[in-house]
Amino acid sequence: MRDPGGRVHTFCHAVPGAWHVMGVTQGAGLSLRWFRDEVAGPLERAAAATAGRDAYDVLAEQAATAPAGSDGLVFLPYLMGERTPHLDPQARGVWFGLTAAHRRAHLVRSVLEGSAGPARDVVLLNAGAGLFVAGRAASVRDGIALAATAIDRGQAVAALEAMAKVSQAGVAA
């Protein structure tokens, strides 16, 4: 049951003969909070509160105006390094593919999509290892249902690989 690559974490389960396998994404939810606090800022939060609305609802509405895949804008949510599936405490968050054509809605949507991507990766890892989700075999369908996103994972992986090369070369990532 142990993943020698350290991509998922395996623990003894309370049920005899069963295992608890999980993936931990360090900064998924944190990424949206960071965006709300640092990019949206206190004025937007105050405006949402004055209108009797939650700032997260306002951000979600903005994100909904951008197309799936954020017109090629990819956000990697590694604001605190990463544990699953890229065991790398030096991984860093990044917007990849940012152009002058992107609007604020693209930024918000890419944060949401980028945070869903690692959850999808965990399900796919489990499916590839023949592990189970809620008593049945994990499948690619679980990954799609968990993180239905048009994010180009190839772009995200390319960005991670580029970051790893920079980090290995001793240049600050």
Domains and CATH numbers, the chain: 9-168 (3.30.420.40)
Q: Among 151, 166, 153, which Cα is nearest to 68's?
A: 151
38-to-4, 34, 158, 159 alpha-carbon distances in Å: 37, 6, 27, 23
Q: Among 41, 45, 107, which Cα is nearest to 71's?
A: 107
Which pLDDT value is given to residue 29? 84
Length of the chain: 173
Which pLDDT value is given to residue 116? 84
pLDDT (tens, 9 = 90+) of the chain, 173 residues, equals: 566 677 777 788 888 877 777 777 788 889 999 999 999 888 888 889 999 999 988 898 899 999 999 999 999 999 998 887 777 889 899 999 999 999 999 999 999 999 888 777 777 776 666 655 554 444 444 443 333 333 344 444 444 444 444 434 443 33
Helix/strand/coil for 129: coil
Tell me the C-alpha distance between 173 and 124, whole Å: 28
Handedness of CA 59, 98, 31, 129 (dihedral sign): positive
Which pLDDT value is given to residue 41? 84
Helix/strand/coil for 5: coil
**pTM: predicted TM-score of the whole model, two decimal places:** 0.69
Query: Nearest 5°: phi and psi at 125?
Result: -60, -45
Instruction: Note the helical H segments in the chain.
Output: 28-34, 41-50, 55-64, 104-128, 140-146, 153-168
Which pLDDT value is given to residue 76? 92
Tell me the C-alpha distance between 136 and 9, whole Å: 19
